[in-house]
Amino acid sequence: MLVEVEQGTLRGATCGSGEETYIGFKGIPYAKPPIGKLRFKAPEPPESWVGERDASQHGPVCPQYNERLDCIEPGSEDCLYLNVFTTTLTPSEPRPVMVWIHGGGFYTGSGNSDYYGPEFLIKHNVILVTLNYRLEVLGFLCLDNDEVPGNAGLKDQVAALKWVKKNIAKFGGDPENVTLFGCSAGAASVCYHLVSKMSQGLFNKAICQSGVCLNEWGYNLYPRERAFQLAKLLGKETQDPAELLEYLRSLPTSSLVKIELPILQVEKFDLADNILFGPVIEKSHLNVEKFISESPVDMVTRGDVGNVPVIVGYVSGEGIEISRKLPHLTAFLGMPGAVVPRELKFKLPREKLYDIDQMIRKFYFDGKDITENSLQEYTNLETDRLFAYNIMRYARYHAHYCSMPVFVYKFTAETERNYYKRHYKMEAVKGVCHADELPYLFDVKCIDIPKPDKSWKVIDNLTKLWTNFAITGNPTPSSELPQWKPFKDGARNTFIIGDDLVCAEDEDEANMQFWEDVYGESVLNNLRPNSQKRFK
């Protein structure tokens, strides 16, 4: 089967087996290979080809440590490829498009269908697009100059969205109905596209699963320091950014994977700083097109966000992703101020900081020391501190400033498809682990994840909600499912996605109120009634 796109002709393939067949076009280049002098730079437009290009196999993944399979995946720097999945190239009318941005802490992952199998979603008459983007050092090195301003990996995502806008109609898709969705670092990326002018007009709806741009692990504060630290680790001690860049461009990609750097000697170090290479706030004076040049907190709190329908939410035990490492964290957590969010460490005087530290310890640990036996309490803290509160905070600002609705969810379903909690041996802790909703959206094949009968109800519900939203902008447009009411600050509706579906009000109210008091945002004071609407 052939499709003619802007760069040339693609030959796709039939995928799957039996009645579960679908059409896949894999390994489609959406940008010029970022190799040689293009290493660390923003992507350039894709090149054309002559004749038919085989699109039956995935393109190379970005060189990385594959955390799921616990191995180094050499991949290739030439990794800017996307995949298109559908059940027909000739639908009766153009189909809604769902573009998935994978997570993985900005250092691991790909859009390949061995993990993100499209079968569950595309049966609901949508087109699924998945993509690779540059990771870790290759995607997020930043020297704070015109040569390497940072955020190359996010700019890769923009290039992929531009490709979708130009070409998806050739696959039967509707370029005017594109939903961007992702989980974890992918969700933070989606949220960055909601605030970046570079992404304006490239999508129409957004779903952020377990992450927004306000989550502190989603942006780096010390990128230049990390770059020089990296060069020193690899054998080059210099203070000259030009010399450093020349050196890093000369290295094999294998030297730039699974980087481990010493803790930065900064006064206000935070657990969020453990993501070594990720999104940055680009310097506003640079003479390049910038993805983001202001703090995401400043942009969101003044309402400079895309006015599109949005779903945001979290799983009930997000903090398991952090608390599984508790034995290695107890010394750090015993330090005064350790449990205070990073954002507040830079805003508050020292004495206020320690007062808040004590408030947090009292609320979550009843004032007791954090030990290896504090697993549940520490999970609860990090669920709220590093995930849920800022997700809810984003919803509050979106609801206040935007005319388009925001829908909030909490995922609580547990079956044998909840892989990560079991894999981490954290079954004794209550809650759904970070990323454990993904096997209900995607048919995972690279890991042995069962499909018990109980799981099919959750799969059907979750994929219907997500595709309903992609199709209409409303996750429950009919009476087939219980009504999911939009979130408003005066009516904090949260849709509980568990064994059953329930729209609740004021879910986790005490915890959210606690954090609003900590952040001083119980009342959203002095907000403009209407911000400029950058997306129509």
73 assigned to active site? no
Of 274, 295, 296, 518, the C-alpha closest to 385 is 518
DSSP states of 123-161 as a string? Answer: TTS-EEEEE----HHHHH---SSSS--S-HHHHHHHHHH
Catalytic annotation, pick one of 110, 119, 124, 184: 184
Alpha helices, DSSP H only, in 220-295? 223-234, 241-250
Of 104, 130, 111, 127, the C-alpha closest to 186 is 104
Query: Please, are residues 31 and 60 in contact by the beta-carbon 8 Å criterion?
Result: no
Query: Please, are residues 157 and 278 in contact by the beta-carbon 8 Å criterion?
Result: no
Catalytic annotation, pick one of 434, 437, 455, 507: 434
Can you tell me whether residue 239 is helix, strand or coil?
coil
Paired with 52 in beta bridges are 9
Q: Please identify which residue in the block is written with the tokens 């608390």.
A: 323
Of 138, 135, 140, the C-alpha closest to 102 is 135
Q: Could you tell me how far CA 491 lies from the centroid of its own chain?
A: 27
Catalytic annotation, pick one of 136, 318, 321, 382: 318
The span from the CA of 463 to the CA of 469, in Å, is 10
CA dihedral for 188, 189, 190, 195, sign (positive or negative): positive
184 assigned to active site? yes
Query: Please, are residues 209 and 216 in contact by the beta-carbon 8 Å criterion?
Result: no
Angle between helices 375-383 and 326-333 (to 10 degrees): 80
* Burial classification of residue 229, based on how many CB atoms lie within 10 Å of its CB (0-12 exposed, 13-18 middle, 19 or more buried): middle
Query: Please, are residues 84 and 129 in contact by the beta-carbon 8 Å criterion?
Result: yes
Residue 510's CB: how many other CB atoms inside 10 A?
8
DSSP states of 92-119 as a string? Answer: SSPEEEEEEE--STTTS----TTTS--H
Terminus-to-terminus CA distance in the chain, angstroms? 36
The backbone torsions φ and ψ at residue 113, rounded to the nearest 5 degrees and listed phi first, read: -80, 0
Active site residues: 184, 318, 434
